[in-house]
């Protein structure tokens, strides 16, 4: 991969939904709409509860409408075949093997393909070399063993200094989001610190302010 060019410092926010089912999605859709409208959100990644794949359209449709109104890309976890069928903007896949290859073959260049579950530096480099639109460091709890913040900061700093492919860093707190933005993350991803807040919209505004200031100060 080519060296990363010098750009003005900028870090954007991405949101990760809770695992959604047909039962939980209707109530969540209103919360989601308020959150993505509260401050600039570059993208949102939709997770599905176990067994909910067959109801993906009912889950995704209201989120698509809210995301489009907020100029927010909607990325679906897992099977890339449903992305075009449901009108989403891209897919997030785990690892660098067959799933990533299938997503790249079926979705690029029209749609976004991101890679997560990258525990090793070599995995991230492989994802970038294959053509992933972003690499993600860290994951929501329960998906993979969580990466300690200090290791996450080291990984983001290493990537940001060398590579052009954007990196997404998962933050478990506003302070972590601030530090990751200062370290050079192109995107900071958040889930529970937004959805479990008393006001998810206020949490989005606070996150956006924190990462914007930190990215500028970390330049």
* pLDDT, tens digit, 9 for 90 and up, residues 144-178: 556 889 999 999 999 999 999 999 999 999 999 99
Answer whether 78's CB lies under 8 Å from 91's CB: yes
CATH of domain 12-217: 3.20.20.70
Domain spans of the chain?
12-217
Q: Supply the pLDDT for residue 147.
A: 81
Q: Supply the pLDDT for residue 18.
A: 96
Q: Supply the pLDDT for residue 9.
A: 53
Query: Which residues does the chain have with pLDDT short of 70?
Result: 1-9, 142-146, 218-219
pTM tops 0.75: yes
Q: Identify the helix (H) or strand (E) that includes residue 82.
A: helix 81-86
Following DSSP, what letter does each residue of 153-164 receive, concatenated? HHHHHHHHHHB-
């Amino acid at each position: 991969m080519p060296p990363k060019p010098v750009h003005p410092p900028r870090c954007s926010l991405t949101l990760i939904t809770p695992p959604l089912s047909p039962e939980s999605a209707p109530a969540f859709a209103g919360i989601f709409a308020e959150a993505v409208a509260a401050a600039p959100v570059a993208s949102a990644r939709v997770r599905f509860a176990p067994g909910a794949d067959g109801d993906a359209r009912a889950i995704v449709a209201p989120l698509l409408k809210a995301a489009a109104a907020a100029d927010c890309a909607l990325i679906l976890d897992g099977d890339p075949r449903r992305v075009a069928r449901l009108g989403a903007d891209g897919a997030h896949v785990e690892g660098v093997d067959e799933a990533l290859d299938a997503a790249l073959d079926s979705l690029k260049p029209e749609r976004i393909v991101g890679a997560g579950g990258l525990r090793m530096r070599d995995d991230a480099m492989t994802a970038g070399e294959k053509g992933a639109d972003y690499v993600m460091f860290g994951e929501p709890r329960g998906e993979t063993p969580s990466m300690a913040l200090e290791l996450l900061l080291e990984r983001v700093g290493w990537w940001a200094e060398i590579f052009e492919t954007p990196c997404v860093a998962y933050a478990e707190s506003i302070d972590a989001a601030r530090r990751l933005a200062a370290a050079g993350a192109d995107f900071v991803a958040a889930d529970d610190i937004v959805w479990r807040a008393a006001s998810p919209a206020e949490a989005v505004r606070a996150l956006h302010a924190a990462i914007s200031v930190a990215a500028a100060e970390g330049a």
